Structure 1
Amino acid sequence: MHDTEIRQLNADDVDAFRAIRLEALRLEPAAYASKPEDWASLPDEEWRERLQVPVFVAFSSGEPVGIMGLLRQQPSKMKHRSTLVMVYLRASERGKGLARRLLDAVVDFAARNGISQIELTVNSRNDRAIRFYERSDFRRIGLIPAGMIHEGQEIDEILMARRVK
C-alpha cells in the first residue's frame, strides 16, 4: 500500500491542484463539463482563486492522485446546500478505499461548516461512479436529459443528493 494522505489545498498548492485537475480532464473527458483547454491556460492567480472553495486532494508518495471539491450555494436560504465537483481518482488508485477517504474528508468539512446536503451530477453511463455514490448514501433525485454533449453525443446526467448528519 502506498503512503497516502488527504488534505485540503491552500493557495500554496497551485501546482498540485493544476496537475491533478488537468490530469482528470485529460484522462476522463466524458466525466466533466469542462475541457482541458478551458483550464490549461489559466494564470496562477485564477488557479488560486478557484482554491477559495474547499478542494481536497489525495496524495500518494507526495504525488496528487485524486481530487474532490465542494461548491457551496451562496444565496442565504440555500447555504445549507453544496455541490460535489471535480471528482477524480487516478485509475491505478481505484479500489483501495481512497475515494471513500476523500469523500469522508469532504463530508466532514461539510458537517463542520453548516452544510447539511451535498448534491452531485454523474454521467448516466458511469456505472462504477453511480455504485460508489449509492454505497456512500447518495440517492437519485432526478435526471437531466442531455445534461452534457460530449463528442457530439448527448449524455444524460443523474442528479444525486446526500444528507449530512
Structure 2
Amino acid sequence: MSGNGITIRHIGADEFDIFRRIRLEALRVEPSSFASSAEDWEVLSDKEWRQRLTDPVFVAFRDDEPVGVMGLLRQRSSKMAHRATLIMVYVRKDLRGMGLAKGLLDTVIAYALSEGIVQLELVVSAENPKAIGFYRREGFSEFGRIPGGVVHDGREIDDIMMARRLTG
C-alpha cells in the first residue's frame, strides 16, 4: 500500500527501534486489546527485540513515522505450516477507518500466500467490536471463544478466535 503519505513494508531485525516504538505505543494506548502488557516488552534487550523480528512484522508509515503494525506467526510443525496467526495488530486511532488496517492485512496476505500459507487465524478481544467487524468484513469467521482469555485490570475478558482461508 502506498498513497496519502502512507507506506507499508516488511521490516528487518536492523529496524528493531521502529518496531519497539510502534509496539510499545500499541501496548500503552490499547492495553486491554493485547495479551501482553507494555511492562512485558519494556524490559526486553535490543537482542530480544531483534529476535522478535525473526517472524515477519509489517509496519505502516505516515511519512517516516510508524503508525500501524501487523505481525505474522507461522505454525512451525510441518503438518501445520500452511497456517499462520495474525499478531500485534494496531493502527493509530486517528488513522482508523481510512483503509490502513486493510492495507496492512492485504500486505500480510500477499506475503503469506508467497510463503505457501493458506489459512490465517487470529484472536481478538470480545470487547473490541470494531476489530471484530473489520475481520468479518475481510472474510474471517468466528470458530471459538475463550472465556476469560485475558485478565486486564482485574477483569476477565473473553477472546474470540477467527480464521480465514486464503485460497479456494
Pairwise TM-score range, normalised by the shorter structure: over 0.9
What does 1:69-108 correspond to in 2, within 5 Å?
Answer: 69-108=71-110
Secondary structure of the residue aligned to 1:67 is: strand
The counterpart of 2:17, out of the listed 15, 23, 36, is 15
The match for 1:159 among 158, 161, 166 is 161
1:142 to 141, 144, 148: 144
> Is the CA contact 1:2–1:61 (under 8 Å) kept in the aligned structure 2?
no
Identity %: 56
Structure-1-length-normalised TM-score: 0.98
Code of the aligned partner of 2:121: E
- 1:113 pairs, out of 107, 112, 115, with 115
CA contact (8 A) 1:73 1:79 kept: yes
Post-superposition shift, 1:164?
A: 1.1
Root-mean-square deviation over aligned CA pairs:
0.9
Q: Deviations over 1:97-116 (max 9, x none)?
A: 11100000111111000111
Unaligned runs of 5+ in 1: none
Matching residue's letter, 2:153: E
Residue 44 of structure 2, aligned match among 30, 42, 45: 42
SS at match of 2:105: helix
